[in-house]
Structure formats: structure tokens, C-alpha cells
């Protein structure tokens, strides 16, 4: 398991961003990266068609990253994240994993899609990228809280 430290209050907060393995949609990825940088984040943008292993490798290179953010617009994120559970179990992705975008194929969106993503190891699912800074703040507060407070809040 790798050594991880929370970002210091003085330095920029770092996140790892990318688009799921089978997805080549780049525009939203660049817009989200630009917005996060505007909020003062240091964004390690892996771009499109990023497999789980590359997110894990990026986290190895940037152990101060506080979250991994994965977008998908083609709806195949469940297949793209098949290796997420194993990467998490091996300690390779031990920060919160956030996903967003079009998370299933077709016009009918089934609520079970979110359950399946959580079962794969996803921590948060975003329906609106504008909420991302608030979600990152909440995750940081949760991680900084004493274990007793987290246990009571759970």
C-alpha cells in the first residue's frame, strides 16, 4: 500500500482526471479540467481512453492527489471499470473515486446502474459537474474528520 498524505492547506489541491477506457469524448474532460483549475486545483489530466491501471499508475506518481475523477459519455463505464474493485483491494486506488457523465447505454436510465457502480468501488456519482468542487470539499472533510466522528456519522 502506498503512503498517502492529505494536501496541505497552503498548496494546491490535486486531483486525477480522465475519461473511461472505451470513451474518446474529450470536450467535457477539458472543460472540467479548466473549471477545476479555475478553482485552484492542480489537475493531472490523463485524457481519453484511460484504463483503470493508468489511473492507479497516476496515483502512484501523484500520491498527494485527493481523488480520481472518471468521466464517461458513451455509457460503457461499467465495463470500463471492471478492474476497479481489484485495484482498490490491492491498495492501488485508495482515494475516493468519482464518476460522472452518461453512465449507461440507451435513453432509459435504470437506478441499478448506480448500485452496480458502487459495487465496483465507486465512491460518488455526479449527475452535474458543477457539484464537483462541493463533493471534493465534502470528501476532504470526511477524510480529515477523526475516526470517532466518522463512525458516529455513518
- Give me the residue spans of the domains in the chain: 14-153
pLDDT at 103: 83
Q: Is the pLDDT of residue 3 over 80?
A: no
CATH 3.40.50.280 fits 14-153, yes or no: yes
pLDDT digits (tens, 9 = 90+) for 92-148: 999 999 999 988 876 666 778 889 999 999 999 998 999 999 999 999 998 887 765
In 3D space, the residue among 54, 68, 59, 92 whose CA is nearest the CA of residue 15 turns out to be 68
pLDDT band (50, 70, 90) for residue 9: low
pLDDT band (50, 70, 90) for residue 6: very low
In 3D space, the residue among 54, 42, 46 whose CA is nearest the CA of residue 26 turns out to be 46
Entry pTM: 0.86
**Mean of all residue pLDDT scores within the chain:** 88
pLDDT at 144: 84
| Maximum pairwise Cα distance, the chain | 45
pLDDT at 47: 96
Interacting residues of 68 by C-beta distance below 8 A, sequence separation 6+ = 15, 16, 17, 18, 55, 58, 59, 93, 95, 96, 97, 98
Q: Is the pLDDT of residue 1 over 80?
A: no
In 3D space, the residue among 51, 49, 20, 15 whose CA is nearest the CA of residue 33 turns out to be 15
First to last CA, the chain: 25
Averaged pLDDT, 33-39: 96
Averaged pLDDT, 71-81: 93
Q: What percent of the chain has pLDDT over 70?
A: 86
Amino acid at each position: 500500500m502506498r503512503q498517502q498524505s492529505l494536501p496541505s492547506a497552503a498548496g494546491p489541491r490535486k486531483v486525477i482526471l480522465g475519461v473511461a477506457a472505451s470513451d474518446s469524448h474529450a470536450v467535457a474532460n477539458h472543460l472540467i479540467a479548466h473549471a477545476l483549475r479555475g478553482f485552484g486545483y492542480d489537475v493531472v489530466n490523463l485524457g481519453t481512453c484511460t484504463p483503470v491501471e493508468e489511473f492507479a499508475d497516476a496515483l502512484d506518481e501523484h500520491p498527494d492527489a485527493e481523488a480520481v475523477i472518471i468521466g464517461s459519455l458513451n455509457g460503457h463505464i461499467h465495463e470500463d471499470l471492471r478492474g476497479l474493485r481489484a485495484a482498490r483491494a490491492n491498495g492501488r486506488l485508495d482515494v475516493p473515486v468519482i464518476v460522472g457523465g452518461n453512465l449507461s447505454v440507451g435513453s432509459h436510465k435504470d437506478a441499478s446502474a448506480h448500485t452496480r457502480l458502487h459495487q465496483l468501488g465507486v465512491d460518488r456519482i455526479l449527475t452535474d459537474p458543477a457539484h464537483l468542487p462541493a463533493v471534493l470539499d465534502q470528501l476532504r472533510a470526511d477524510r480529515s474528520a477523526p475516526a470517532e466522528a466518522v463512525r458516529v456519522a455513518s
